[in-house]
Amino acid sequence: MILDKIENYALYATITDRLAKGFEFIKNIDPNTIELGTYEIEDKAVFAVVQEYDTKEIKDCLLESHIKYIDIQYVLEGTELMGVATKKDQKVLEVDTEKDFIFYEAETPYIQLVPGMFTVFFPDDLHRPCVKDGAISRVKKVVVKVQV
Protein backbone atom coordinates (compact mmCIF):
# COMPACT_ATOMS: atom_id res chain seq x y z
CA MET A 1 0.00 0.00 0.00
CA ILE A 2 1.10 3.53 -0.74
CA LEU A 3 -0.34 6.68 0.88
CA ASP A 4 0.90 10.09 -0.30
CA LYS A 5 0.03 13.48 -1.75
CA ILE A 6 -0.43 13.80 -5.50
CA GLU A 7 2.55 16.15 -5.89
CA ASN A 8 4.75 13.15 -5.03
CA TYR A 9 3.24 10.80 -7.62
CA ALA A 10 6.46 10.68 -9.69
CA LEU A 11 8.11 8.69 -6.88
CA TYR A 12 5.79 5.78 -7.70
CA ALA A 13 5.13 6.18 -11.43
CA THR A 14 8.24 4.17 -12.27
CA ILE A 15 6.90 1.00 -10.62
CA THR A 16 5.16 0.00 -13.87
CA ASP A 17 4.34 1.72 -17.16
CA ARG A 18 0.64 1.21 -16.47
CA LEU A 19 0.85 2.88 -13.07
CA ALA A 20 2.62 5.79 -14.77
CA LYS A 21 -0.30 6.12 -17.20
CA GLY A 22 -2.77 6.11 -14.31
CA PHE A 23 -0.87 8.82 -12.46
CA GLU A 24 -0.58 10.93 -15.62
CA PHE A 25 -4.35 10.75 -16.05
CA ILE A 26 -4.87 11.92 -12.46
CA LYS A 27 -2.27 14.67 -12.74
CA ASN A 28 -3.88 16.08 -15.90
CA ILE A 29 -7.52 16.23 -14.81
CA ASP A 30 -9.26 19.39 -13.68
CA PRO A 31 -11.05 18.47 -10.43
CA ASN A 32 -13.59 21.26 -11.00
CA THR A 33 -14.72 20.14 -14.43
CA ILE A 34 -14.17 16.38 -14.70
CA GLU A 35 -17.48 14.58 -15.04
CA LEU A 36 -18.54 11.41 -13.28
CA GLY A 37 -18.08 8.25 -15.30
CA THR A 38 -15.54 5.82 -16.72
CA TYR A 39 -12.51 6.93 -18.72
CA GLU A 40 -10.49 4.53 -20.84
CA ILE A 41 -6.76 5.15 -20.55
CA GLU A 42 -5.25 2.00 -22.10
CA ASP A 43 -7.94 -0.37 -23.35
CA LYS A 44 -9.09 -2.48 -20.39
CA ALA A 45 -5.58 -2.51 -18.90
CA VAL A 46 -5.87 0.98 -17.37
CA PHE A 47 -9.09 2.89 -16.84
CA ALA A 48 -10.46 5.43 -14.39
CA VAL A 49 -13.80 5.74 -12.65
CA VAL A 50 -14.77 9.19 -11.37
CA GLN A 51 -17.37 8.75 -8.64
CA GLU A 52 -19.20 10.74 -6.01
CA TYR A 53 -20.82 9.42 -2.85
CA ASP A 54 -21.63 10.13 0.78
CA THR A 55 -19.41 8.45 3.35
CA LYS A 56 -21.06 5.86 5.61
CA GLU A 57 -20.84 4.10 8.95
CA ILE A 58 -18.09 1.47 9.24
CA LYS A 59 -20.69 -1.31 9.43
CA ASP A 60 -21.97 -0.32 5.97
CA CYS A 61 -18.54 -0.44 4.28
CA LEU A 62 -16.95 -3.63 2.98
CA LEU A 63 -13.31 -4.65 3.36
CA GLU A 64 -12.10 -5.65 -0.10
CA SER A 65 -9.19 -6.55 -2.31
CA HIS A 66 -8.75 -7.23 -6.00
CA ILE A 67 -7.05 -9.97 -8.00
CA LYS A 68 -6.66 -8.52 -11.50
CA TYR A 69 -6.21 -4.81 -10.77
CA ILE A 70 -4.20 -2.42 -8.64
CA ASP A 71 -6.24 0.56 -7.37
CA ILE A 72 -5.05 4.15 -7.35
CA GLN A 73 -7.63 6.06 -5.30
CA TYR A 74 -7.36 9.85 -5.47
CA VAL A 75 -9.63 12.17 -3.47
CA LEU A 76 -10.79 15.32 -5.27
CA GLU A 77 -13.33 16.60 -2.72
CA GLY A 78 -14.45 15.65 0.78
CA THR A 79 -12.88 13.57 3.52
CA GLU A 80 -13.09 9.86 4.16
CA LEU A 81 -11.54 7.25 6.37
CA MET A 82 -10.26 4.07 4.81
CA GLY A 83 -9.64 0.85 6.68
CA VAL A 84 -6.43 -0.92 5.69
CA ALA A 85 -5.01 -4.39 6.34
CA THR A 86 -2.88 -7.08 4.78
CA LYS A 87 -4.46 -10.16 3.26
CA LYS A 88 -2.61 -12.67 5.46
CA ASP A 89 -4.89 -14.72 7.73
CA GLN A 90 -8.06 -12.72 6.99
CA LYS A 91 -11.46 -14.39 6.80
CA VAL A 92 -12.85 -14.35 3.24
CA LEU A 93 -16.59 -13.68 3.00
CA GLU A 94 -17.11 -13.67 -0.76
CA VAL A 95 -15.12 -13.98 -3.97
CA ASP A 96 -16.41 -12.49 -7.23
CA THR A 97 -13.73 -13.08 -9.87
CA GLU A 98 -15.88 -11.63 -12.65
CA LYS A 99 -16.16 -8.25 -10.88
CA ASP A 100 -12.64 -8.58 -9.40
CA PHE A 101 -13.67 -8.33 -5.74
CA ILE A 102 -12.82 -10.38 -2.67
CA PHE A 103 -14.65 -9.32 0.50
CA TYR A 104 -13.30 -9.97 4.00
CA GLU A 105 -14.32 -9.83 7.63
CA ALA A 106 -11.68 -8.15 9.80
CA GLU A 107 -11.02 -5.24 12.12
CA THR A 108 -8.77 -2.60 10.59
CA PRO A 109 -6.89 0.55 11.51
CA TYR A 110 -7.99 3.64 9.55
CA ILE A 111 -6.23 6.30 7.52
CA GLN A 112 -7.74 9.69 6.68
CA LEU A 113 -7.88 10.82 3.06
CA VAL A 114 -8.42 14.48 2.19
CA PRO A 115 -8.34 16.27 -1.18
CA GLY A 116 -4.98 15.92 -2.89
CA MET A 117 -4.13 12.57 -1.28
CA PHE A 118 -3.98 9.18 -2.97
CA THR A 119 -3.56 5.54 -2.07
CA VAL A 120 -2.30 2.65 -4.15
CA PHE A 121 -3.64 -0.78 -3.24
CA PHE A 122 -1.91 -3.86 -4.64
CA PRO A 123 -3.65 -7.28 -4.72
CA ASP A 124 -2.41 -8.20 -1.21
CA ASP A 125 -3.64 -4.91 0.30
CA LEU A 126 -7.12 -4.89 1.82
CA HIS A 127 -9.05 -1.63 1.95
CA ARG A 128 -12.39 -0.48 3.34
CA PRO A 129 -13.31 2.74 1.47
CA CYS A 130 -16.16 5.21 2.04
CA VAL A 131 -16.03 5.36 5.86
CA LYS A 132 -17.20 8.62 7.44
CA ASP A 133 -14.77 10.63 9.57
CA GLY A 134 -17.14 11.84 12.29
CA ALA A 135 -19.74 13.55 10.11
CA ILE A 136 -20.94 12.34 6.72
CA SER A 137 -18.95 13.90 3.88
CA ARG A 138 -19.68 14.13 0.16
CA VAL A 139 -16.62 12.64 -1.57
CA LYS A 140 -15.58 12.98 -5.19
CA LYS A 141 -12.86 10.51 -6.06
CA VAL A 142 -10.99 9.06 -9.01
CA VAL A 143 -10.29 5.33 -8.87
CA VAL A 144 -7.80 4.23 -11.51
CA LYS A 145 -7.80 0.49 -12.16
CA VAL A 146 -4.40 -0.78 -13.33
CA GLN A 147 -4.22 -4.34 -14.60
CA VAL A 148 -1.57 -6.46 -12.85
Residue 148: its pLDDT value, please?
94
Residue 6: its pLDDT value, please?
95
Residue 43: its pLDDT value, please?
87
State the residue range of the domain holding 41.
2-147
| CATH code where residue 125 lies | 2.60.120.370
Residue 89: its pLDDT value, please?
85
Residue 27: its pLDDT value, please?
94
- In this structure, the dihedral spanned by the alpha carbons of residues 115, 84, 45 and 24, taken in order and rounded to 10 degrees, is 30
Residue 122: its pLDDT value, please?
97
Residue 68: its pLDDT value, please?
96
- Cβ atoms of residues 83 and 58 within 8 Å: yes
Low-confidence ranges of the chain (pLDDT < 70): none
Split into its structural domains, the chain has a count of 1
- Cβ atoms of residues 99 and 31 within 8 Å: no
Region of 116 on the Ramachandran plot (φ > 0 left; ψ -120 to 50 alpha; else beta): left
